[in-house]
Amino acid sequence: MIFTETKLRGAFIIEPEKMEDYRGFFARVFDKKAFEEHGIDFSVLEASISFNRKKGTLRGMHYQSEPYGESKIVRCTLGKIFDVIVDLRPNSKTFKHWFAAELSTENRKMLYVPKGFAHGFLTLEDKCEISYHMDQLYRPGHASGFRWDDKTFKISWPVRPKIVSDKDKSWEPFST
């Protein structure tokens, strides 16, 4: 696996290293030791998928508050998404900064999202499926978020979302 740290400390783009032959390829997508070598302590406690029928569907911006903050690995297994994270760690040099990556079936990239970050995505094609692996169990009482268009962050989405849930439309502006 190839780990490339983003401009937000502790967040990584992870690319599988393919071993190819006439049959196709094989690639590792998780190796605890490789993660540890990059300073990442990650153990999967929960995994989920999200299927999105239409291009322009936005989910986010979500996070779990402490003491149940979660790290996650996000991968688009079908289609293409614009995946966004925002650093919400008050003591971080990149507090309130955001980073985005295109994740797709074709590029097979993953995004490692550390604790203390919000996450969301916008589908760039119809029929997108996203796989999540988290190091914390979902705690509904600690689920939080902010609107995708919150002026605090000025996220530059590639297109205006067409489909956003009522819950995601109703988030309050971010406050520290």
Please give the tally of structural domains in the chain. 1
- pLDDT over 90 at 128, yes or no: yes
Report the alpha-carbon distance of residue 4 to residue 11 in Å, rounded.
9
Classified as helix, coil or strand, 169 is helix
Report the alpha-carbon distance of residue 44 to residue 135 in Å, rounded.
5
3 domain residue, yes or no: no
Q: What is the pLDDT of residues 65-94, one digit of tens each?
A: 999 999 999 999 999 999 999 999 999 999
Q: What residues make up the domain containing 146?
A: 43-169
Tell me the catalytic residues: 62, 132
Confidence of residue 176 (pLDDT cuts 50, 70, 90): confident
35 domain residue, yes or no: no
For position 155, which CATH number holds? 2.60.120.10
87 domain residue, yes or no: yes
Determine the Cα angle at 172 with ends 169 and 175, to 5°.
145
Q: What is the pLDDT of residues 30-79, one digit of tens each?
A: 999 999 999 999 999 999 999 999 999 999 999 999 999 999 999 999 99
37 domain residue, yes or no: no
66 domain residue, yes or no: yes
What is the greatest pairwise CA distance in the chain?
Answer: 54
Give how far the C-alpha of residue 132 lies from the chain's centroid of Cα atoms, to the nearest Å: 8
Q: Which secondary structure element, helix H or strand E, spans residue 37, and what is its range?
A: helix 32-37
Q: What's the predicted TM-score (pTM) here?
A: 0.95
pLDDT for res 175: 82
